[in-house]
C-alpha cells in the first residue's frame, strides 16, 4: 500500500514539474503561456438585516496561464473560463 501511495505522489510531483517547465520554457516553441479572460465581478455587501446586496462592477480582463496547475501566481485558463463570475465580499 505504501508503494502505491508513494508512486502516486511521485507521479503527481513529476506532472507538476513537467507542467511548470512547459510554462517557463515555452514548450512547445512559439506557444504563448499566458491567456486573457474577461471576468464579471459582483460586490457582495452585507446589510444589517442579514441580507446581501450585490452591486455589479465593470468587467475585468484577468491574465491566466495555459497549464494544468497554477504557476507564477496565475490561475489556469481552463479554471478561469469556467468561473467568469466572481464575488467580492465586503
Q: What are phi and psi of 28, to 5 degrees?
A: -70, 155
| 8 Å CB contact between 35 and 63 | yes
pLDDT in tens, 30-83: 889 999 999 999 999 988 888 989 999 999 999 999 999 999 999 999 999 999
Q: What is the pLDDT of residue 1?
A: 92
On the question of pLDDT at 89 being above 90, the answer is: no
Rounded to whole angstroms, how far apart are CA atoms 20 and 12? 12
Q: Which residues contact 9 (CB under 8 A, 6 or more apart)?
A: none
Amino acid at each position: 500500500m505504501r508503494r502505491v501511495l508513494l508512486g502516486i505522489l511521485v507521479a503527481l510531483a513529476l506532472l507538476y514539474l513537467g507542467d511548470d517547465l512547459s510554462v517557463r520554457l515555452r514548450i512547445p516553441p512559439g506557444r504563448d503561456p499566458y491567456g486573457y479572460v474577461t471576468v464579471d465581478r459582483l460586490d457582495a455587501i452585507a446589510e444589517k438585516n442579514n441580507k446581501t446586496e450585490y452591486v455589479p462592477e465593470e468587467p475585468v480582463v484577468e491574465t491566466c496561464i495555459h497549464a494544468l496547475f497554477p504557476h507564477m501566481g496565475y490561475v489556469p485558463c481552463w479554471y478561469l473560463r469556467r468561473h467568469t463570475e466572481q464575488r467580492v465580499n465586503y
